[in-house]
Chain A
Amino acid sequence: MSDLSIGEIRHEFTKNVLGLIGVGIIVMLVIISMIAVITIPVSTFQEWNNPEKWITYPKTSVPIWVNYFTAEKIPEHEILLPHISYTNSDNIQLTSEQFLVNFEFDDFPSDFVYEFEVKYSNSYLISLNVLRPDGLMLNLLTTTLPFSENETVYKQRIFSTDEMIKKNISMKSEYFAFDISEKTITDVIFSDVSQNNILKGDYVFVVDTYGIKKLNENVNSRIILGGKAFGLMGTDELRRDLAVGLLWGTPLALFIGVSVAIGSVVVGLIYGVYSGYKGKKTDETMMRFNDVIYALPALPFLIILAVTISNSIFLMIGFLMIFSWVGVAKVSRSMSLQIKTRQYVEAAKIMGQKDSKIIFRHIIPQLLPYAFASIAISVPAAITTEAGLSFLGLGDPAFPTWGQILHDANTYGAAAQGFWWWIVPPGLLIAVTGLAFVFIGNALDSIVNPKLKR
């Protein structure tokens, strides 16, 4: 406890390198949060636990930048958009869509999906072919859409695992020098004819559609070539884009950490100061209550509370506060015991000022530097505890945090299967966020308590 003005503290703080690093990290995290809030719509984030939303994404794919470091290029997840041409002859309209992909990777793509939405009437015929770099044209599928009198909009996804495609490919076995019956479709399509190696080059997926009358219109179509590398952060077992979860986790973690820290320090400060100031029996009772809370095993209780009452994130913040104000209360009590013997406090008392006024006007301002230091120091504990609870699967499903990402990673055995991109970033973010607040807290602490400097 020292009588430093805000200006002095600021001046001292600018000299502390670690403290400044901490501030720098937090500024970066705030910027990341803002980017997340602005660029990724809330709706995307709320669909985190909805598998339907992520169906077009690849499964457990590495981040795309891994390809810069490896000699063998991992196929990227690609969404191909068509180049459309129309030909009309008599009554029949031929729409030809061409999806070009330059495949230069060293592994087969995992699958592909042809997704289309078409407006048509009467009959409609679709023929899906692929033209390989060696000139071989493979017919994958020919199918008709249900006959319709009126104009209808039809939406469908054709997967590479389709039985018809499998059948059509198996009929082409004479072109290949190896046994194709056991291979997946993409392993055959993207393979050299002589042996089962990647054939690099330009592939063209050609989708010819034949419709009667001129009404037919291909509203929307695309081919998703399922790769094994996707996005900045890769995807997880449930095909979710980890970048979305990680980015949105930042504001959440900051919110949880800061609100728990502020809440518990304010409660602890007022409780401790009041107890110390009142003294005697009030002090005794309040401190016994404090001891009881201190002796409760926090984590088991947090778990029971989360299970029996609710795991909503706001209630969780409240629960975390219950267990974290105790230490602050003890320290601020002993500090207020010292301050209340000072002459100006006694003078105020003799002047007949109210207790509440003495506490809030004369004692608490003296403790503010200490309070700020303890807020900064208690943020990491709040973040790690919340992450721990989420890790046990007790997180709020409406708000995916870093801990929940790690929970999913642990459930799907990511560590034992080597999905490092699923484990390292969330944990690192938790640690870095905590570290930043610890740096700031220590810097403030060494200013407020010069004794500790040594």
Chain B
Amino acid sequence: MFGVLMITLLLTIALVGSNMDTILKQGIVFQVRSEITDNPSISKSFTNPEDFEKFIQQKIDERINTLGLDTPWYSPQRIGYTMLKIMMLDFGNATFLTSDAGSSNVGDILLEKIPKTVLLFTTATIIISIIGILLGAASSNKIGSKTDRITSVFAVISSSFPVWWIGMLMIFVFAFMYQIFPARATPDIEPSDPTYIFSLLYHMTLPVITIVLIGFGSWAYLVRNFMVGVMQEDFITAKKTMGISKKKIIYKHALKNAAPPIVTILALSLSGSLGGAIITEAVFDWPGMGRLYFEAISVMDLPVIIGSTYILTVIFLISIFVADLLYGYFDPRVRTSV
């Protein structure tokens, strides 16, 4: 797992490394030239423009050397150093973007954005899983019933709609036709305001509704399929013959046994949705990780790109790990067999 993390990091650096070098070098050239123009006494001391030009070039080279930029970005010690720094969660400073508080430290920016993304997507996923589990259990109760068929059809249809497109339609319906919710999900008041949290929740409604609408169908379908499998097992038949009511069997006994795969998928879909957040947040203008990533890409703010890719991968891997642990918790057979 650690290896995967390293490979992701290496790939990211490999992809953006050469660009980063060019940008850094240009930054130095600009810096040196502006320092020299700020100080007119330097240019006065030169009579020959060629000498002056040479002096500037020398200064630039000097600074490039001290920063270690003379070796190419793919040299082992530079890659090693960059990776070490990132592993210690030191992402450096962003080139263009700043956090709301004005800090340009990538760590600060990420810390500010992550809670908002987590808030949005965890809320949505929790609602999705509650609706999905209840609906799935209900439709597995009567296979072939109206509920069951509607759930299946809805699952297929909703899974082929892009979330962001539904998002645009929702904005059209609820922000333009009926002005219930705001079109932009970024709250328009300062974070220090005491009513900020309410404003945030109000702005969150539309994205949450959209994500839930698209997500719960396939969830219900999955739960239903697991439940159908469990309901055919012997212990359920035994419970039925004991005269326990069907409702109790489904919601107490069968659901518990279908839990392991459900929990795994819950963990995976939660982390998977974080990747999808890039587009969803761009539609709703939600001030989270996804939009940060999108903004970083559009202005080529490389430290932010590397930092957020790293964090996304970490979250993804952690959730795979947690899913494995939970699987063992719910299904002791897995634990003993290891």
Interface size, chain B (Cβ < 8 Å): 48
- Asked if A15 CB lies within 8 Å of chain B CBs, one says no
Contact B3 A292 (CB under 8 A): yes
For residue B298, which residues in chain A have a CB less than 8 angstroms away from its CB? 393
**In the complex where A307-B297, A393-B298, A435-B156 touch, is A418 in contact with B162 (Cβ < 8 A)?**
no
- Asked if B320 CB lies within 8 Å of chain A CBs, one says yes
For residue B159, which residues in chain A have a CB less than 8 angstroms away from its CB? 438
Kindly identify, within residues 276 to 296 of chain A, every residue whose CB is under 8 Å from any CB belonging to chain B.
291-292, 295-296
- Asked if A246 CB lies within 8 Å of chain B CBs, one says no
For residue A297, which residues in chain B have a CB less than 8 angstroms away from its CB? 8, 275, 309, 312-313, 316
Contact B160 A384 (CB under 8 A): yes
Q: How far apart are the CA atoms of A305 and B14 in the complex, in Å?
A: 11
- Asked if A409 CB lies within 8 Å of chain B CBs, one says yes
Shortest C-beta distance, B226 to chain A (Å), equals: 13
Q: Give me 8 other A-B pairs in contact (C-beta within 8 A), A292-B3, A296-B11, A416-B176 excluded.
A: A297-B313, A304-B12, A304-B16, A388-B279, A391-B279, A415-B172, A423-B169, A431-B165
- Asked if A11 CB lies within 8 Å of chain B CBs, one says no
Q: How far apart are the CA atoms of A438 and B164 in the complex, in Å?
A: 19
- Asked if A410 CB lies within 8 Å of chain B CBs, one says yes
- Asked if B300 CB lies within 8 Å of chain A CBs, one says yes
- Asked if B58 CB lies within 8 Å of chain A CBs, one says no
For residue A418, which residues in chain B have a CB less than 8 angstroms away from its CB? 172, 176-177
Kindly identify, within residues 376 to 417 of chain A, every residue whose CB is under 8 Å from any CB belonging to chain B.
380, 384, 387-388, 391-393, 406, 409-410, 413-417
- Asked if A300 CB lies within 8 Å of chain B CBs, one says yes
- Asked if B168 CB lies within 8 Å of chain A CBs, one says yes
- Asked if B4 CB lies within 8 Å of chain A CBs, one says yes
Contact B168 A410 (CB under 8 A): yes
In the complex, how many residue pairs between chain A and chain B have their CB atoms under 8 Å apart? Answer: 126
- Interface of A with B (CB < 8 Å)? 291-292, 295-301, 303-305, 307-309, 380, 384, 387-388, 391-393, 406, 409-410, 413-418, 420, 423-424, 426-427, 430-431, 434-435, 438-439, 442, 454
For residue B128, which residues in chain A have a CB less than 8 angstroms away from its CB? none
A contact patch SS: helix
Q: Please name the residue on chain B nearest to A306 by beta carbon.
A: B297
- Asked if B111 CB lies within 8 Å of chain A CBs, one says no
**In the complex where A300-B278, A434-B160 touch, is A424 in contact with B297 (Cβ < 8 A)?**
no
Shortest C-beta distance, B306 to chain A (Å), equals: 9
Shortest C-beta distance, B208 to chain A (Å), equals: 17
Q: How far apart are the CA atoms of A435 and B157 in the complex, in Å?
A: 7
Q: Please name the residue on chain A nearest to B14 by beta carbon.
A: A308
Kindly identify, within residues 172 to 223 of chain B, every residue whose CB is under 8 Å from any CB belonging to chain A.
172, 175-177, 183
Contact A300 B309 (CB under 8 A): yes
Contact of A392 among B7, B278, B305 (CB under 8 A): B278
For residue A420, which residues in chain B have a CB less than 8 angstroms away from its CB? 172
Q: How far apart are the CA atoms of A295 and B9 in the complex, in Å?
A: 12
Contact A392 B172 (CB under 8 A): no
- Asked if B27 CB lies within 8 Å of chain A CBs, one says no
Chain B 260-283 near chain A by CB (<8 Å), digits 1 or 0 = 000000000000000110110011
Contact B161 A431 (CB under 8 A): yes
